[in-house]
C-alpha cells in the first residue's frame, strides 16, 4: 500500500489549484497528443507502485473494511458498504402505551403527511380515530403504534417497494441506526410525535427543495405532483446523512458533483451506461484509492468474442503500437492487458471502488463525447470529464498526496495506486427531478424508464412487511469503450 503525507489547504482552494494544474497539463498534452512522462524534480520523493502483471488485472492492496450491515453482508458477501454505527442501542418493542393526547398528535401528523409526499390513506387514520374516541386501551396502543411504525418505515426507508426500484442496490443504514421501536419510544418519552418523525427526513438540501416544490404545485397538476413525490422518496432510499465529503452523480443529468460539507466543490460532465442491460445501476460505495495511469484488462467478450486476442498474438507490432500485451496460457486461454498510455481505454485515471458490479469512475481517451447532449453511451461505468483534476483533488483531500506529488505521479506515465487515508463515499443516483448544477429545480429525461414502476407504486396501497434487500440481478459490467 502506498501513502503520502502532506498538509491540506481549504477544499475550495485545493480544487482551484488542482484544476489549474490539471488544465495546464491537458493544454500541454493536447499540443503533443499525449501526457508526457515526468519526474518529480526538486519535490518530495515519489514512491511508485509497480505496474501489475500484464497477464492479470490490477490487484488492490488490502484496506481496512468498514463495519457493514448484516443485511448488506448477506446480499453481497465481501463487498464494502457504507459504514454504519457499530454500537446499536437495544431495540424497543413495536407496540407501546399511548395517551389520548399523544394519539391525537399522531392524527394531526397523518392528516398533514401529504406535505412529505406521502398519503394519509396509508396509515389507517379512520380506525385510529375510532380507537381514540374509546379512550385509553390496548386497542389504542396497538392502532397508534402500528400507524406510527408505518410512518417511520416510509419516512426512514422510503415508501416504494423493492420490486419497483429497478437496478437499485443501496442498503440503507438508517434502519439499523434508528430501529422503529426506538423511534417510537423516543417520541412517546419526549411527547413530540411530529418532531421525532420529522427528524427522519433526509438532510440533503434537495429533499427540502422538492418538498417546497410540492407545496407550490397545485392539486390539479397531478402528474407533476407524482413526479415530485417519487423523487422525494428516492432520497429516502439513501442514507439520511450522506456524510461530510462524497461524490454524487445523478445518472439522467449526466453530471457528477464533488461535495464537501454539503457544498459543491466541483462538477463534472459524465458518460453513463447505455439503456438496457448495461444501464448504470444505483449504488452507494466507498472510494478507497486513486489509480493514476491505469492498465486495462480487456474483457473476454472482446479478447475472444471480437478476436482481439488472436489479432494481438498474430501481429505483435500492431499490439505494441496500441499498448496491448497478449499472453496465451498452456490451456490456450488468452489474456490481453492494455498498458498505460494516451490510448488506454480507462484514460489516465480510475477510482478504486470495489463492488460486485465492477462499476467505477474513470477517464476516457474519447473526451469529445462529453460535448454530446445525450451521454448514455458506456457499458455501465461512469466516464468523467476532467478526470485527472478529479483524481488529484481526491488524492489531496483524502491525504493520499500533496499537490506536487499528485502532479508528478500523473505526469510519470507509470501505473501508480494512491490509497486514501480518508476514504470517500460515492453515490450513483437516479433522480428525474432535482436541483441542477446551476442551482435550479429541473426535470431530466427518464433515460432508463425507471420512473414507471415508482410512479405506479404511488397509486397502489402501501406494501406492508416488505423486503429491505435489493431484488434485481447483479450485472457485472464490461466497460469496453468500443462505442466511442
For the residues 325-349, what does the mean pLDDT come to?
92
**The three grid cell numbers given for residue 282, joined into one nine-digit string:** 444505483
pLDDT of residue 87: 60
- In the predicted structure, residue 275 carries a pLDDT above the cut 90: yes
Tell me what pLDDT residue 89 has.
62
Domain that holds residue 175: 100-240
Whole-number pLDDT of residue 46: 37
**Same domain, yes or no, for 291 and 407?**
yes
Task: Classify residue 413: in a domain, yes or no.
Answer: yes
C-alpha span between 159 and 265 (Å, rounded): 32
Q: Can you tell me the distance from the alpha carbon of 302 to that of 308, in angstroms, rounded to the nearest whole number? A: 6
Averaged pLDDT, 154-172: 95
Three cell numbers written together for 330: 498452456
- Name the residue among 342, 360, 343, 344 with its Cα closest to residue 352: 360
Contact 282, 166 (CB under 8 A): no
- The three three-digit cell numbers of residue 315, written as one number: 501481429
φ, ψ dihedrals at 45, nearest 5°:
-65, 135
Lookup result for grid cell 498526496: 401
pLDDT band at 249; cut points 50, 70, 90? very high
Q: If you search the block for the grid coordinates 495506486, which residue do you land on? A: 417
Rounded Cα distance between 368 and 257, Å, is 20
CA angle 307, 310, 316 (to 5 degrees): 125
Are 269 and 365 found together in one domain? yes
Q: Are residues 367 and 226 in the same domain?
A: no
Mean pLDDT of the chain: 84
Based on the fold, state whether residues 360 and 264 are members of the same structural domain.
yes
DSSP 456: H
Pair (116, 204) in one structural domain: yes
Rounded mean pLDDT, 467-476: 80
Tens-digit pLDDT profile for residues 2-58: 333 333 333 444 444 444 444 344 433 333 232 223 333 333 333 344 444 443 433
Q: Mean of the pLDDT values across residues 163-167?
A: 95
At residue 88, the pLDDT reads: 59
pLDDT exceeds 90 at position 383: yes
Give the integer Cα–Cα distance in Å for 427 and 391.
16
**Residues 148 and 106: beta-carbon distance below 8 Å:** yes
- 54 and 133 housed in the same domain: no
Give the model's pLDDT for residue 11: 40
Q: What is the CATH number of the domain that holds 388?
A: 2.40.440.10
451 and 145 Cβ atoms separated by less than 8 Å: no
Q: Is 318 inside a domain boundary?
A: no
Q: Is residue 220 part of a domain?
A: yes
In a domain? residue 329: no
Domain edge (last residue) among 429, 460, 476? 429
Confidence grade of residue 476 (pLDDT, cut at 50, 70, 90) = confident
Report d(CA 395, CA 405) in Å as an integer.
Answer: 10
pLDDT of residue 295: 94
Q: Which residues contact 307 (CB under 8 A, 6 or more apart)?
A: none
Is 218 among the domain residues?
yes
Provide the pLDDT for residue 38: 32
Amino acid 466: pLDDT: 84
> Over pLDDT 90: what percentage of the chain?
71
The count of structural domains within the chain is 2
Q: Is 79 helix (H, G, I), strand (E, B) or coil?
A: coil
Rounded CA separation 160/234 (Å): 8
Q: Is residue 373 part of a domain?
A: yes
Please give the pLDDT value at position 70: 43
Q: Among 429, 444, 460, where does a domain finish?
A: 429
CA distance 99 to 120: 21
pLDDT of residue 57: 36
| Predicted pLDDT of residue 86 | 53
212 and 224 in one domain? yes
Same domain assignment for residues 281 and 346: yes
pLDDT digits (tens, 9 = 90+) for 219-234: 999 999 999 999 999 9
Same domain, 252 and 386: yes
The pLDDT > 70 percentage for the chain reads 80
| Among 2-16, 114-128, 431-445, the least confident range | 2-16
pLDDT tens per residue across span 388-437:
999 999 999 998 999 999 999 999 999 999 999 999 999 999 999 999 99
pLDDT at 168: 94
pLDDT at 457: 97
Residues 132 and 227 in one domain: yes
Residue owning grid cell 458506456: 378
Determine the average pLDDT of the residues in 339-365. 92
Instruction: Check pLDDT > 50 for residue 255.
Output: yes
- pLDDT higher than 80, residue 462: yes
**403 is a domain residue:** yes
Q: How confident is the model at residue 478 (pLDDT cuts 50, 70, 90)?
A: low
- Do 116 and 198 fall within a single domain? yes
Task: Identify whether 439 is part of a domain.
Answer: no
Last residue of a domain, one of 379, 399, 429: 429
Q: Go through 168-200 and write b for each residue having 16 or more CB atoms within 10 A of its CB, e for each that does not.
A: bbbbbbbbbbbbbbbbbbebbeeeebeebbebb
Band of pLDDT at residue 343, cut at 50, 70 and 90:
confident
272 and 164 share one domain:
no
Amino acid at each position: 500500500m502506498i501513502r503520502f503525507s502532506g498538509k491540506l489547504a481549504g477544499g475550495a482552494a485545493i480544487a482551484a489549484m488542482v484544476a489549474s494544474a490539471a488544465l495546464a497539463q491537458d493544454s500541454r498534452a493536447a499540443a503533443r497528443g499525449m501526457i508526457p512522462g515526468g519526474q518529480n524534480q526538486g519535490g518530495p520523493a515519489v514512491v511508485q507502485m509497480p505496474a501489475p502483471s500484464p497477464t492479470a488485472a490490477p490487484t488492490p492492496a488490502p484496506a481496512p473494511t468498514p463495519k457493514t450491515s448484516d443485511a448488506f453482508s448477506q446480499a453481497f458477501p465481501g463487498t464494502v458498504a457504507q459504514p454504519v454505527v457499530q454500537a446499536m442501542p437495544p431495540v424497543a418493542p413495536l407496540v407501546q402505551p399511548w395517551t389520548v393526547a399523544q394519539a391525537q398528535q399522531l392524527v394531526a401528523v397523518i392528516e398533514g403527511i401529504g406535505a412529505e409526499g406521502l398519503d394519509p390513506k396509508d396509515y389507517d387514520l379512520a380506525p385510529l380515530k375510532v380507537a381514540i374516541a374509546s379512550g385509553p386501551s390496548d386497542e389504542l396502543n396497538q392502532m397508534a403504534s402500528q400507524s406510527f411504525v408505518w410512518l417511520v418505515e416510509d419516512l426512514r426507508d422510503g415508501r416504494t417497494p423493492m420490486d419497483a426500484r429497478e437496478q437499485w442496490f443501496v442498503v440503507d443504514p438508517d434502519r439499523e441506526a434508528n430501529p422503529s421501536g426506538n423511534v417510537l419510544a423516543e417520541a412517546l418519552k419526549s411527547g413530540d410525535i411530529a418532531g421525532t418523525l420529522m427528524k427522519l427526513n433526509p438532510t440533503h438540501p434537495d429533499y427540502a427543495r422538492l418538498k417546497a416544490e410540492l407545496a407550490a404545485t397545485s392539486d390539479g397538476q397531478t402528474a407533476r405532483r407524482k413526479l415530485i413525490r417519487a423523487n422525494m422518496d428516492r432520497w429516502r432510499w439513501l442514507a439520511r446523512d450522506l456524510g461530510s465529503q462524497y461524490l454524487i452523480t445523478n445518472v439522467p443529468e449526466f453530471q457528477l458533483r464533488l461535495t464537501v460539507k454539503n457544498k459543491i466543490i466541483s462538477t463534472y460532465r459524465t458518460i453513463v451506461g447505455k439503456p438496457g442491460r448495461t444501464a448504470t445501476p444505483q449504488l452507494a460505495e466507498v472510494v478507497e484509492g486513486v489509480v493514476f495511469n491505469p492498465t486495462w484488462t480487456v474483457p473476454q467478450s472482446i479478447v475472444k468474442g471480437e478476436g482481439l486476442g488472436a489479432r494481438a498474438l498474430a501481429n505483435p507490432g500492431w499490439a505494441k503500437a496500441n499498448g496491448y500485451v497478449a499472453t496465451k496460457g498452456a490451456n490456450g486461454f488468452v489474456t490481453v492487458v492494455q498498458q498505460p498510455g494516451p490510448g488506454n481505454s480507462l484514460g489516465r485515471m480510475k477510482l478504486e471502488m470495489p463492488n460486485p458490479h465492477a462499476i467505477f469512475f474513470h477517464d476516457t481517451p474519447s473526451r469529445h463525447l462529453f460535448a454530446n447532449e445525450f451521454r448514455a453511451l458506456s457499458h455501465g461505468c461512469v466516464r468523467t470529464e476532467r478526470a485527472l483534476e478529479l483524481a488529484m483533488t481526491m488524492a489531496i483531500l483524502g491525504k493520499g498526496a500533496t499537490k506536487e506529488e499528485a502532479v508528478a505521479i500523473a505526469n510519470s506515465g507509470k501505473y501508480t495506486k494512491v490509497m486514501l487515508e480518508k476514504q470517500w463515499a460515492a453515490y450513483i443516483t437516479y433522480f428525474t427531478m432535482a436541483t441542477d448544477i446551476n442551482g435550479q429545480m429541473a426535470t431530466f429525461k427518464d433515460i432508463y424508464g425507471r420512473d414507471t414502476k415508482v410512479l405506479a407504486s404511488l397509486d397502489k396501497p402501501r406494501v406492508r412487511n416488505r423486503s429491505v434487500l435489493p431484488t434485481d440481478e447483479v450485472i457485472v459490467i464490461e466497460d469496453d469503450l468500443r462505442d466511442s
